[in-house]
Amino acid sequence: MIELDYELPAELIAQRPVEPRDASRLLVYRRKSATMEHAVFSDLPGLLRDELVVVNDSRVIPARLRLRRASGGAVEILLLEAVTGENTWEALARPTRRLRAGERLGPVELLEPLGDGRWLVRLEGEPNGDVPLPPYIREPLEDPERYQTLYAREPGSAAAPTAGLHLTADMLADLDPCRVTLHVGLDTFRPVVGSRLEEHVLHGERYEVEPDVWRRIEHARRVLAVGTTTVRVLETVARSGELNGRTTLFVTPGFSFRRVDALLTNFHLPRSTLLGLVMAFVGVEETKEIYRTAVDQRYRFYSFGDAMVVL
């Protein structure tokens, strides 16, 4: 598991997004020459040649519900995914130890424990909570739309596909990206806790690609995936041919990429499947060196941090 660990000073964890969106720093890594450059995100269009840009257009729902039990105890419910059944969701609850099936927490009814803090719940009405910011962001967000990409349109995610947070309206017009959808759920932010990366189990996340969009992707000379969730969609469809469904694709070092030629992504948490995916694409030792450089150069990390592009 040591390959998924690295040292990060706490002050490099970004607490707020920069303005404007494309003012973030951009670390450029070129795989053929194994070289790094330092740029600004607004430089991205000029760095690309003939890559087709693909983004994940899932929208974060107001999924964090702060509720109270009849006894007065506080409970937080994080809605992860709508499931079959009227107003039924898979959710995370904390603290979960004393909760019981059949209990009502305001608009939420607990139906069935699923293990590891997960519950099947019934929600009265539409989700109407807070934007589910990651726990390492301690400052309140003045504008919840800053945790949404400008192209987010399909509600369903419990966390933002954060690589796309840097893209401005002008850049989107210039890049003319294709849109795919993967609703970010538990798999994307659940840490790897076992002794081996390969032992980590994915529950799966819903995805969808329109047929005309896939035809454009399929025939592109090179494809740049914006974010790790986009990678999982593209590589799932490239293998299965299925344009919608659930993906449990787990990308780890040694993976053979079939449709992703370049990657734009943020800097990820240690012991995360996202870091494992980057290592699969770039190389384990190469990724370690990139992250050491990013720390030395004082890049900002995680959801509201800076980005890297691998060409």
Look up the CATH superfamily of 64-123.
Answer: QueA-like (2.40.10.240)
Is residue 90 scored above 80 in pLDDT?
yes
Q: Which residues, in sequence order, are CB contacts of 87 under 8 Å at separation 6+?
A: 122, 123, 124, 125
Diameter over CA atoms, the chain: 62
Q: Which residues, in sequence order, are CB contacts of 202 under 8 Å at separation 6+?
A: 187, 248, 249, 250, 273
Segment 246-289, tens digit of pLDDT: 999 999 999 999 999 999 999 999 988 899 999 999 999 999 99
pLDDT of residue 73: 94
Residue bearing tokens 């004393």: 98
Question: Do the domains 64-123 and 2-60+132-310 match in fold?
Answer: no
Look up the CATH superfamily of 2-60+132-310.
Answer: QueA-like (3.40.1780.10)
Question: Domains of the chain: which residue ranges?
Answer: 2-60+132-310, 64-123
Helix axes 228-240, 273-282, angle to 10 degrees: 70
Segment 188-208, tens digit of pLDDT: 666 666 656 666 666 789 999
What average pLDDT does range 116-137 have in this prediction? Answer: 93
User: With bands split at pLDDT 50, 70 and 90, how would you rate the model's confidence at 100?
Assistant: very high
With the C-alpha atoms ordered 21, 13, 177, 203, is the resulting torsion angle positive or negative? negative
What average pLDDT does range 221-244 have in this prediction? Answer: 98
pTM here? 0.94
pLDDT of residue 121: 97
Residue 159 is encoded by which pair of tokens?
A: 């966390």
User: With bands split at pLDDT 50, 70 and 90, how would you rate the model's confidence at 1?
Assistant: low
Question: Within a 10 A sphere around the Cβ of 65, how many other Cβ atoms?
Answer: 23
pLDDT of residue 189: 61
Question: Within a 10 A sphere around the Cβ of 128, how many other Cβ atoms?
Answer: 12
pLDDT of residue 135: 87
Which runs of consecutive H residues, i.e. helices, occur in the chain? 44-47, 169-175, 186-189, 211-218, 228-240, 273-282, 284-296
